[in-house]
Chains A and B, each alone.
Chain A
Amino acid sequence: MSSEVRFTDFKSDKQPTWCPGCGDFGTMNGMMKALANTGNDPDNTFLVAGIGCSGKIGTYMHSYALHGVHGRALPVATGVKMARPDIEVMAAGGDGDGYSIGAGHFVHAVRRNVDMTYVVMDNRIYGLTKGQASPTSRSDFETSTTPEGPQQPPVNPLALALAAGATFIAQSFASDALRHAEIIEEAIEHDGFGFVNVFSPCVTFNDVDTYDYFRDTLVDLEEEGHDRHDLEAAKEVILDADKEYQGVMYQNENSVPYHEQHGVTENMADIPDGAPENAMDLVREFY
């Protein structure tokens, strides 16, 4: 099937209920294109989605999918990959989902280096609950629950990933369709945890981190001649507080994904009709 797959095959027949102009449209289109371009098809792809406007992506895309509870997409995706190393696994959600309630799982999925692609639609706000501060909101960003701004520095997800030992760290912009799809494609092809933070503007609740803002400020690492295999160079751009970048910040050439490190190679869905052969050996251990 894969040779004939087009990106629209990954589209479900549900019309998105995202606000017109929401960045999540562009994020999703890029994901579908990247999946098709890397030779995947819906019946061999598993998408795990978080909770939030972003998490609705599982409904609008067509594949095997699970829309879970808030913040827990990564553990689910990890379980899927363990059971089925043969399946392409993607996880997607928002910045609140991934870096607030799910922050613990983020760190551990990164350090396990599970072979999956994790796309975070970072709009620097809680969209679905109608506009509260998120972990990536600026410290002076006024919202209904932070009338004077959160008064604390935003999380730097790229630095968090770096500190946790990430093997692939990238950032893209939902509206730069071509580059965004390219970057997701690279994350899919990476052997290990491919992490992409996507600037995906919320046109309803965030009037600071807008399309115009990113269009004006974003620096493309490709054009800068950045060496993604150079850890020091990666640290520099990731910790640069003055500029916003898109592109692949870091990729570890020697990345060995979790399932290969641990010899997890079998399709665990296949089991015998009764107890496995030599099962009585399990009993005899207790002699």
Chain B
Amino acid sequence: MTEDLNWAIGGEAGDGIDSTGKIFAQALSRAGRHVFTSKDFASRIRGGYTAYKIRTSTDRVQSVVDRLDILVALTQRTIDENLDELHEGSAVIYDGERSWDAEIPDEITAVDVPLKTLAEEAGGAIMLNVVALGAACEITGFDVEYLDESLEKRFGGKGSKIVENNREAARKGRDYVRENYDFDLGYELDTTDNDYVLLNGDEAIGMGALAAGCRFYAGYPITPATNVMEYLTGRIEQYGGHVVQAEDELSAINMALGGARAGARSMTATSGPGIDLMTETFGLVATSETPLVIVDVMRSGPSTGMPTKQEQGDLNMTLYGGHGEIPRFVVAPTTIDECFWKTVEAFNYAEKYQTPVYVVADLALAVTEQTFSPETFDMDAVEIDRGTLVDDDSIGEWLDEQGRFRAHAATEDGISPRAIPGTTDGAHMSTGLEHDELGRRTEDTEVRVEQVDKRNRKVETAKAEEDWDYREFGDEDAENLVISWGSNEGALVEALEYLEDEGIDVRILSVPYIFPRPDLTDDVEAAEDVIVVECNATGQFADVIEHDTLTRVKRVNKYTGVRFKADELADAISTKLSEEVPAQ
């Protein structure tokens, strides 16, 4: 882990914290270093503490830790908020000419750089963050030239003069530290020849949708799902698609439903409060057997909760939400690259089984960025399965004696043919009312049972046909089993090392499928101790595991609004393991 460097910039919202962090993160990834970023932000646009943290290494990094090496502090609060993460080898870069007297603990190297003055010399005070980046480069032995490309990327649109000024600002920061300080904290940011891409979960979801042939997206802005919409806007058009910003979530899901019934691969994305509003139509989507992908990027609830904070509290909502009984699929990516692949899968499930599919991601996945080699997103590996779509020629076998299309034919596998508008003889009615094979309303008891069974049979078929797998880490023979879903995987995998140091062996299962899901009965029974790790207060996934396996499990829950850190998780697991097993 000596390769690691933990860097952060913090200040007030509106200080350009995000874009500065992104510039540095991109520069690091262009230099062939792995990057993992996390954001600490408040739900306001101006004012309020905000920070952008980067963990970088030549090895793969996939979690945050409790350590900060270089901190760019634009406010005292930035220092105060991070005090416990600073250590003797840390450096704090700040601007002593600004009105505040920075209070920095003695053992920490204070690097006072006249950020604003140097920025003004380079062409404008607004570039003071970039001066700080230059200073950070000098302290860490990272060549300022690596910033050039990301500065071009960020400011290229504003003209070459602006780009030049920013490059100059970075160099002024570097030179100032070079000329005025003489310390060596021992940091050396090695570079490699690797080319990495840097993206977050929302972007990966959007990219997955485009790769999967999504053509229509309707949504209503909500943190932390808005980035999916912003990503698709301006890109989906290149593929002949369109994004509509609807008037609310009720409209968004209904528009997406319309697009899907008309034959387009369609999607909507929202967060908890929006899922609440969409729930009535969710039932309609399932009953009318419309293929639709609904993304829920979870934030802290209930109600408007903590919009910018992490939680995994919507599992029950997506699994059970809606009146009556609703067949559905729920997939939950565990990593940013899975956000891409599970979205592609979701479109295939939706069309193959003609059901709504929830893609449940959490805020930690949505807003953190991570580096990947481009081949991780190998587009040639994208497969598209449109299911039983009939055309003018194949529709014949699905017409009854009177030539009417049996849109909800009660087939053995529960999957009926699908005709989209324009298909000759395919005209039919779809409805949320209970209906017969032709889609016509009915209250006939036999038909009712036949159709309910038919819809549920699709799930049985899917359970048998698809691979509802999990990923496994650690020691496969360990007595201690840790089960996780969503974004905790990265921190868990890194926690393995800490646990190893303590002499604790664990086997980790990271499960990306909530429904259908893998049967973990054998795994649970084979283990001495089972712990389910999740970011919610009650242990929603733990409940599901107990229900499936008829075995009590231990729970590690975090619901502060902050994601798990690797070292913290290792502690929590080792403490839990020493506790007694709950009564059966």
Contact = CB atoms under 8 A, between A and B. Distances in A.
B431 A87 contact: no
B198 interface: yes
A42 B427 contact: yes
A66 B216 contact: no
Contact of A83 (B215, B251, B404, B440): B215
Contact of A43 (B264, B425, B440): B425
Nearest to A258: B244
A48 interface: yes
Chain A CB within 10 Å — which of B213, B240, B429 has the most? B429
Given A276-B213, A283-B207, A284-B197, A67 B431 contact: yes
Given A76-B254, A283-B379, A83 B432 contact: no
B414 interface: no
Interface stretch (A227-235, A240-248, A264-272): A264-272
Nearest to A67: B431
Interface in B242-279: 242, 244, 246-248, 250-252, 254-266
A108 B251 contact: yes
A46 B262 contact: yes
A274 B30 CA distance: 29
B210 to A, nearest CB: 6
Contact of B262 (A75, A84, A262, A282): A84
B288 interface: yes
A264 B265 CA distance: 15
B346 to A, nearest CB: 15
Chain B CB within 10 Å — which of A81, A82, A262, A280 has the most? A82
B259 A79 contact: yes
A12 interface: yes
Interface stretch (B5-13, B39-47, B302-310, B416-424): B416-424
Interface string A33-60: 0000000001111101000000000110
B284 interface: yes
Chain A CB within 10 Å — which of B244, B258, B284 has the most? B258
Contact of B430 (A67, A82, A287): A67
Interface residues of B, number: 70
Given A13-B402, A76-B254, A66 B259 contact: no
Q: Number of contact residues on A: which range applies?
A: 35 or more
Contact of A104 (B199, B216, B248): B248
Interface stretch (B157-165, B169-177, B380-388, B467-475): B380-388
B258 A83 contact: yes
A271 B213 contact: yes
Interface string B385-397: 0100000000000
Given A82-B216, A268-B241, A68 B197 contact: no
A64 B421 contact: yes
B426 interface: yes
Interface in A219-264: 262-264
Chain B CB within 10 Å — which of A78, A79, A271 has the most? A79
Nearest to B340: A283
Contacts of A1: 424
Given A78-B255, A79-B256, A87 B213 contact: no
B248 A79 contact: no
Contacts of B422: 43-44, 84, 86-87
Contacts of A274: 379-380, 382-384
A105 B425 CA distance: 32
Contacts of B361: none
Nearest to B431: A67
Contacts of B260: 79, 83
B239 interface: yes
* Dominant secondary structure of chain B at its interface with chain A: mixed
Interface in A111-151: none
Nearest to A78: B255
A78 B386 CA distance: 23
Contacts of A280: 374, 377, 379
Contacts of A104: 247-248, 251
A89 to B, nearest CB: 9
Interface in B495-553: none
Given A78-B244, A79-B216, A66 B440 contact: no
Chain B CB within 10 Å — which of A81, A266, A282 has the most? A282
B199 A79 contact: no
A65 interface: yes
Contacts of B247: 104-105, 107-108
Contacts of A283: 197, 207, 374, 377, 379
B428 interface: yes
A200 interface: no
A256 to B, nearest CB: 16
Interface in B432-447: 432-433, 440-441
Contacts of A76: 254-255, 257-258, 261
B235 interface: yes
B258 A69 contact: no
A279 B255 CA distance: 26
A42 B242 CA distance: 26
A76 B284 CA distance: 12
Contacts of B210: 276, 279, 282
Contact of B428 (A65, A69, A78, A81): A65
B176 to A, nearest CB: 30
A264 B263 CA distance: 15
Given A43-B424, A79-B256, A276-B213, A268 B262 contact: yes
A279 B378 CA distance: 9
A268 B216 contact: yes
B188 to A, nearest CB: 24
A83 B259 contact: yes
B263 A43 contact: no
Given A44-B421, A282-B211, A287-B197, A268 B264 contact: yes
A190 interface: no
B450 interface: no
B255 A75 contact: yes
A59 B441 contact: yes
Contacts of B145: none
Contacts of A13: 402, 404
B263 A84 contact: yes
A264 B242 contact: yes
B440 A279 contact: no
B240 A266 contact: yes
Given A79-B259, A84-B262, A58 B374 contact: no
B574 interface: no
A13 B402 CA distance: 10
A271 B212 CA distance: 9
B203 interface: yes
A273 interface: yes
20 contacts: A48-B258, A69-B284, A69-B432, A77-B258, A82-B242, A84-B262, A84-B422, A105-B247, A268-B216, A268-B259, A268-B262, A271-B384, A274-B383, A275-B379, A276-B210, A276-B213, A280-B379, A283-B374, A286-B197, A287-B197
Interface of A: 1, 12-14, 42-46, 48, 58-59, 62-69, 72, 75-84, 86-87, 104-105, 107-108, 262-269, 271-276, 279-280, 282-284, 286-287
Given A75-B258, A76-B255, 12 more contacts: A66-B257, A68-B432, A69-B432, A72-B254, A76-B258, A80-B258, A83-B262, A268-B215, A269-B263, A279-B210, A279-B382, A282-B210
